[in-house]
Chains A and B, each alone.
Chain A
Amino acid sequence: MPNLEHPAYPAAALLHLESLVPCRESQVSMLLSIFGERQQFSFPSIFIYGHTSSGKTYVMQTLLNTLQLPHVFVNCVECFTSRLLLEEILIQLQSCSSETEPASPVPCDTFNDFVRLFKQALVSRKLQDQTLYIVLDRAEQLREMEANILPAFLRLQELTDSNVTVVLLSEIVWELFRPNVGCFDPLTLYFPDYSIGHLQKILSQNHPPEYTADFYAAYINILLGVFYMVCRDLKELRHLAVLNFSKYCEPVVRGEANERDTRKLWKNIEPHLKKAMQTVYLREISSSQWERLQHDDGEPGQLKGLSAHTHVELPYYSKFLLIAAYLASYNPVRTDKRFFLKHHGKIKKTNFMKKHEKTSNHLLGPKPFPLDRLLAILYSIVDNRVAPSANIFSQITSLVTLQLLSMVGQNDQLEGPRYKCTVSLDFIRAIAR
Chain B
Amino acid sequence: GCFVFKPSAKKRKLSQRTAHEFGIRNDDSEDTELRFVTCQSLWNQIKSETEKIQEDLNKQLLDNLVSFLRRSHSEFEEKTTEWICRMKVREIPTAALVLGVNVTDHDLTFRSLSDFLQNNITPYIALLEAKDCPGIKNLMQKLMGQLMNCCVDVDSLEDEDYVQVSQNRIRCSMSSLIKWYESVTKKTDSETPSKRSSSSTHWQSPPVVVIFKDMESFTTKVLQDFVVISSQHIHELPLVLIFGIATSPMIIHRLLPHSVSSLLCIELFQSLSCKDHLSTIIDKLLLTTQFPFKLGEKVLQVLINIFLYHDFSVQNFIKGFQLCIVEHFYSQPLSVLCCQLVDLQKRVNSLSHNQCENIRRLPSFRRYVEKQESGKQIALLTSDNFLKEETQRLLEELHVYHENYVSVLRCLHVFTSSLPKYPLGKQIRELHCACLENQVWETEEYESSLQLARMLNKSDLVTMLQQCVEILLSSSGKEFDQTVEKLKKFLTQFQNLEEAFQEQDGSVSSQKELQKKTDLYHLQKTLLELKESRRSKKLTKFEMLRFEVVDYIDSLVRKYLVPADHRTLHEILYFNTAAVLRGHLNAAPRTALHTALNNPHWYLKNQALKCDGGSISNKAPDICIVYKLHLECGRLINLVDWLEAFSTVVMAGEEPNADRASSDQMDDIIHARFIRAVSELELLGFIKPSKQKTDHVARLTWGGC
Contacts and interface: CB of A to CB of B under 8 A. Distances in A.
Given A312-B101, A395-B310, A288 B265 contact: yes
B interface, size bucket: 35 or more
A312 B247 contact: yes
Interface in A292-343: 304, 306-307, 309-318
Interface string A92-105: 00000000000001
Given A206-B87, A401-B217, A307 B249 contact: yes
Interface in A376-397: 387-395
A306 B253 contact: yes
Contacts of A208: 81, 83
Contacts of B217: 401, 403
B250 A310 contact: yes
B248 A309 contact: yes
Contacts of A147: none
B88 A239 contact: yes
For B173, B214, B252, B264, the residue with the greatest tally of chain A CB atoms inside 10 Å of its CB is: B173
Contacts of A389: 586-589, 591
Nearest to B682: A414
Nearest to A290: B265
B311 A309 contact: no
Given A306-B266, A387-B591, A388-B705, A403 B247 contact: yes
A286 B266 contact: yes
B214 A401 contact: yes
B685 interface: yes
A391 B310 contact: yes
Contacts of A105: 170-171
B201 interface: no
Contacts of A387: 586, 588, 591
A87 B173 CA distance: 11
A286 B268 CA distance: 9
Interface in A10-55: 52
B101 A402 contact: yes
Contact of A310 (B94, B214, B248, B274): B248
A398 interface: yes
A87 B209 CA distance: 28
Interface stretch (B32-40, B224-232, B390-398): B224-232
B101 A313 contact: yes
B228 A77 contact: yes
B270 interface: yes
A81 B137 CA distance: 8
A105 B312 CA distance: 52
B310 A242 contact: no
A409 to B, nearest CB: 15
Contacts of A64: none
Interface in A262-312: 282-283, 286-289, 304, 306-307, 309-312
Contact of A80 (B136, B266, B273): B136
Nearest to B90: A239
A402 B99 CA distance: 12
A288 B86 CA distance: 16
Contacts of B273: 313
A60 interface: no
A250 interface: no
Nearest to A144: B221
A173 interface: no
A236 B263 CA distance: 9
Interface in A350-373: 372
B250 A307 contact: yes
Contact of B173 (A84, A206, A316, A415): A84
B30 interface: no
A107 B265 contact: no
A128 interface: no
B312 A313 contact: yes
Nearest to A171: B259
B91 interface: yes
Contacts of B608: none
Nearest to B131: A401
A interface, size bucket: 35 or more
Interface string B86-104: 1111010110101011010
Contacts of A316: 308-310
A88 interface: yes
B588 A306 contact: no
Contact of A390 (B89, B249, B270, B588): B588
Contacts of A84: 171-173
A389 B94 CA distance: 39
Interface string B295-325: 0000000000011111110000000000000
For B88, B232, B270, the residue with the greatest tally of chain A CB atoms inside 10 Å of its CB is: B88
Contacts of A75: 229, 232
B174 A78 contact: yes
Given A388-B591, A402-B101, A288 B309 contact: no
Nearest to A208: B83
A287 B265 contact: yes
A413 B225 CA distance: 32
Nearest to B270: A309
Interface in A235-252: 235-236, 238-239, 241-243
A79 interface: yes
A404 interface: yes
A206 B84 CA distance: 11
Contacts of A52: 259
B137 A309 contact: no
A255 interface: no
A80 B173 CA distance: 9
B664 interface: no
A416 interface: yes
Contacts of A80: 135-137, 140, 225
B308 A307 contact: no
Given A313-B312, A391-B311, A306 B268 contact: yes
Contact of B89 (A239, A306, A391, A395): A239
B249 A309 contact: yes
Contacts of A312: 101, 247-248
Contact of A402 (B175, B246, B261): B246
Contacts of A315: 101, 307-312
Interface string A400-425: 01111000000001111000000000
B137 A306 contact: no
B512 interface: no
B267 interface: yes
Contacts of A2: none
Nearest to A320: B309
A387 B100 CA distance: 25
A88 B250 contact: no
B24 interface: no
Interface in B498-539: none
B376 interface: no
Interface of B: 71-72, 81, 83-84, 86-89, 91, 93-94, 96, 98, 100-101, 103, 135-137, 140, 170-175, 214, 216-217, 225, 228-229, 232, 246-253, 258-259, 261-262, 264-268, 270, 273-275, 306-312, 586-591, 685, 688, 700-702, 705
29 contacts: A52-B259, A77-B229, A80-B135, A80-B140, A87-B171, A239-B88, A283-B258, A286-B94, A286-B265, A287-B88, A287-B91, A288-B71, A306-B249, A306-B266, A307-B250, A313-B275, A318-B101, A387-B586, A388-B591, A388-B705, A389-B591, A390-B589, A391-B311, A394-B311, A395-B311, A401-B216, A401-B217, A403-B216, A414-B700
Interface pairs A-B: 10 shortest CB-CB = A306-B249, A391-B310, A316-B309, A286-B265, A414-B685, A389-B588, A239-B89, A390-B587, A242-B87, A208-B83
Given A309-B270, A387-B591, A392-B310, 11 more contacts: A77-B229, A78-B175, A84-B171, A206-B87, A243-B88, A306-B266, A309-B248, A310-B248, A315-B101, A315-B309, A318-B310
